[in-house]
Amino acid sequence: MRAPAVTPASRLWTGCRIGLRLLGLLGVGYGLVAPALLAWWLVAISLGPEPYAQVSGFFGSIAGRTLLFLFSWALIHHMLGGIRHLIWDTGRGLDLKSVDFLSWLTIILSLTATVAVWAIGLALRGGW
């Protein structure tokens, strides 16, 4: 029996599947990073103004905002990847051309939506 051909579309699809699971593990909901950051923030609130100011200072720094931006992207990308899988569960979009299209669409929409969410949030807040 011959092994199936490895195409750029199948590599992209495989990369998206692995990426979706890694994002889920590291950042989204049941992951490791997001709950730790949330716990750090909640503990700081409970300890008083000084610890809360330290945590807020970190989240307001370039490193903290970068981390929050990446977490936002991971959350949105993971959600869109789940929608892609929901479409596949209906039996649609399983040919390689559709798989390639949906994989690219997930990447592009997640980046676009993340930038849009941050732009709206920063505009409402009054900038950096």
Give me the DSSP letters along 7-66. -HHHHHHHHHHHHHHHHHHHTSSSSSHHHHHHHHHHHHHHH-HHHHHHHHHHHHSHHHHH
pTM: 0.77
In order along its 128 residues, the chain shows pLDDT tens digits of: 555 555 665 677 677 777 767 766 666 555 677 888 889 999 999 999 999 999 999 999 999 998 888 888 888 988 898 899 899 999 999 898 898 899 899 999 999 999 999 999 999 988 77
Domain boundaries, the chain: 8-125
Residue range 8-125, CATH number: 1.20.1300.10
